[in-house]
Amino acid sequence: MTSIYLAKSNRANPDVVSAVRTLLKGFDVDIVEYKGGGYSHKPLLGCEMLIVVPELSDDLDNDDDEYLDVGKGLFEQIEAFQSNKLNDCDLLIVNYYHEGTQQLGLGIFDEFDVAGEDDYVNYATLCFKYEGEVGTLAQVLENRLGFASESNSTKGSTKRSRYRLLITSSK
């Protein structure tokens, strides 16, 4: 069974987190999350896939932002997952969400840089490539996992909303 680590900001939109969980529950996967207490990267590094749900802007006018700030915790999880030589797997970063259809779209992650070492809330900035859309999260999961859930339709509107989703592959 594939293990997927769901990393989420404490300030993430609960509707987006819920939509990701609901989508993942439609697949035969083990969902691993930080539940509190002392933190260790060990559960994260044991997973084949990382899905990150950061805090997203509520500003509808920022529909095409190239950058997204993340806190120190998410930054360190992304960095640990990418640098772990054992994980030649997928890193998915939630960057948009269509409220009406609850579809999570995809884009392509480029790079990230530390923005403010003393600001743990806006610690790093994720930069995204403009290379067009590559599908929905449901479509990517179906492609990666090799099986689809009947409850997760890949049909419907792909109209963009104030939330976006980004994908990258760790090498």
Residue 169 has pLDDT above 80, yes or no: no
pLDDT band at 17 (very low <50, low <70, confident <90, very high): very high
What is the count of structural domains for the chain?
1
**What pLDDT, in 10s, does the model give residues 25-55?**
999 999 999 988 999 999 999 998 999 888 8
Place of tokens 């998410």: 74
Q: Give the helix/strand (H/E) hosting 140.
A: helix 137-145
**What pLDDT, in 10s, does the model give residues 54-87?**
887 665 444 445 677 888 889 899 889 988 855 4
Q: How many CB atoms lie within 10 A of CB 147?
A: 8
pLDDT at 40: 93
CA-to-CA distance for 65 and 125, rounded, in angstroms? Answer: 12
CA-to-CA distance for 57 and 38, rounded, in angstroms? Answer: 29
pLDDT at 45: 92
pLDDT at 69: 82
The beta-strand segments (E) located in 9-105 are 29-32, 49-53, 67-70, 90-96
pLDDT at 77: 92
Q: Which domain holds residue 43?
A: 2-169
pLDDT at 148: 55
Question: What share of the chain has pLDDT > 90, as a percent?
Answer: 22
